[in-house]
Amino acid sequence: MGERFESVDATAARLREVDYLSDTNIAGVVYLAERLGKPVLVEGPAGVGKTELAKAVAATVGARLIRLQCYEGLDESKAIYEWNYKKQLLRIQADREHERDWETVESDIFSEAFLLTRPLLEAIRADEPVVLLIDEVDRVEVETEALLLEVLSDFQVSIPELGTIVGKQVPLVFLTSNNTRELSEALKRRCLFLHIDYPDIEREKEIVRVRVPEVDAALAGQIAKVVNSIRNIDLKKSPSISETIDWARTLVFLGRNEITPEVLGDTLHVLLKYQSDIAKTRKELGVDAPAVIKK
């Protein structure tokens, strides 16, 4: 089975092939998840590549990514399956003219054709390999979480009218959380836990080089150092990896291959999104406001 991960190092190498730079911790947990067949709960600040990890893993193993975006009020009918009421009503109306008996009608309208599959059922029924991503699971209510739990532990869904649908495979599952609320113990117990934090200078430098190939090694190193320095300041919202990449692209676009205080001052708003954060960073790093504002 060439698709499986051989070891932690092999996992890291294969993630790298799809431009995802992991570290031992990330690769280790992914490897383990695949070996143990357990879901991974990924937690960490916004923009450190939690969702990206699931996408990268899917690309690596050549699986289809099925994504369930969570939000407050998400329920069974949006997460697992729903009967297509409107279509069923139409069918009943159409059938009326043929004067069919109720049994036939019922078996008719509660068949696959009238079933709307939602992400979880889709993942369970899939024939081809899939990776299931349950994004921002901390946004759903506790009751919905219990529902997810049930599906995740058995990988089967019972539809009263159709019977139990059992998964042909246990897909790799990633759940991401921004930690806006404490998830239930039961859910945490079932998952492997992976906390992704901001990367260190070396790794961020590599990430910049991979994602923005136009940037040379020296500039990438400088970018990583500056971002690291800004993260050391106590801010409302520290720059995330995606903002680092945006910044690198901005620098390329402006044709800068060196970061001077002036360049940083002009482009700081790409990295930071709060005016108070920008002001504080300027003061801390001794960087002036852009010339336009100064006048």
Partner 1 sequence: MQWSKLDHAMSRGSGEVTILPTEPHMLDVLQGFVHELRIAGLPVSMTENLDAMRAVEFVSLDERESFKAALGATLVKNAGHYRVFDTVFEVFFSMFSPGVNADGESDLDADAQANFDELRAAMDQGGAMGQVSNEELAQMLLDALMRMDQNEMRMLAGAAVARFAGMEPGRPVGGAYYLYRTLRQLDADGLVSKMMARAQDEQQIGAGAFDERLAREDFEGRLKVLKELIEAEIRRRLVADRGVEAMARTLRKPLPEDVDFMHASREEMQLLQRAIYPLTRALAARLAQRRRHRRRGHLDFRQTVRHSMSYGGVPVEPKFKRPRPSKPEIMVVADISGSVASFARFTLQFVYAMQSEFSKVRSWVFIDGVDEVTRFFDESQELSEAIHRVNTEADVVWVDGHSDYGHAFEVWHERHIREVTKKSSVILLGDARNNYHASQAWTVAEMRKRARKVFWLDPEPRGYWDTGDSIVSEYAPYCDGVYEVRNLRQLQKFVADVVEA
Site residues for partner 1 per CB under 8 A: 1, 3-4, 8-9, 24-25, 27-29, 31-32, 34-38, 40-41, 43-44, 61-63, 72, 85-86, 89, 129, 141, 169-172, 179-182, 185, 188-195, 200-202, 222, 225-226, 228-229, 232, 234, 236, 260-261, 264, 276, 285-287
Which one, 182 or 214, has the nearer CB to partner 1? 182
Least separation in angstroms between residue 229's CB and partner 1 is 5
Q: Which is nearer to partner 1, 73 or 213 (CB)?
A: 73
Min. distance of Cβ 182 from partner 1 in angstroms?
5
Q: Smallest gap, in angstroms, from Cβ of residue 67 to partner 1?
A: 18
Euclidean distance between CA atoms 38 and 153, whole angstroms: 9
Q: How far is the CB of 261 from partner 1 (least distance, A)?
A: 5
Q: Residue 72 or residue 103: which is nearer to partner 1 going by CB?
A: 72
Where residue 41 falls (left for φ over 0; alpha for ψ -120 to 50; beta otherwise) is beta
Q: What CA–CA distance (Å, rounded) separates 173 from 65?
A: 10
Using the minimum distance from each CB to partner 1, give the nearer residue, 189 or 295: 189
CB of 28 to partner 1, least distance (A): 3
- Measured from the CB atom, the residue of 32 and 165 that comes closer to partner 1 is 32
Q: Rounded CA gap, 117 and 123, in Å?
A: 9
Sign of CA dihedral 106, 112, 114, 120: positive
CA atoms within 13 A on the CB side of 87: 12
The H-assigned helical ranges of the chain are 8-17, 24-36, 50-61, 76-79, 85-96, 102-109, 119-125, 142-154, 185-190, 201-211, 217-231, 241-253, 261-271, 275-285, 291-294
Report in angstroms how near the CB of residue 36 gets to partner 1 at its nearest: 6
Our CB check for partner 1 shows the closer of 160 and 286 to be 286
Pairing mode, strands 81-83 and 64-69? unpaired
